[in-house]
């Protein structure tokens, strides 16, 4: 493996390897980001509700 292109091509197996890793990365990220966003939504809703009560 002398250059980057060869390294990424992985003797023709690159497309299989990289697509697998990309899909996995997306799924893992999704599983962490989704509950994080949901928690922020809950916090914001609660803050809005509190402001209404104060008024």
Binding residues (CB under 8 A) for other proteins: these are 7, 10-14, 16-17, 19-21, 23-24, 27-28, 30-32, 35-36, 38-39, 42-44, 46-47, 50
Inter-residue contact 7 to 1 (CB < 8 Å): yes
Supply the minimum distance, in Å, between the C-beta of residue 43 and other proteins: 5
* DSSP H or E stretch at residue 8: helix 4-9
Spatial separation of the C-alpha atoms in residues 17 and 20, rounded to whole Å: 5
Q: Which is nearer to other proteins, 7 or 55 (CB)?
A: 7
Q: Nearest distance from residue 3's CB to other proteins, in Å?
A: 13
């Amino acid at each position: 493996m002398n250059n980057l292109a060869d390294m990424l091509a992985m003797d023709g197996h690159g497309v299989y390897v990289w697509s697998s890793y990309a899909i996995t990365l997306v799924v893992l990220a999704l599983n962490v980001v989704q509950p994080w966003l949901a928690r922020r939504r809950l916090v914001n809703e609660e803050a809005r509700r509190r402001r209404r009560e104060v008024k």
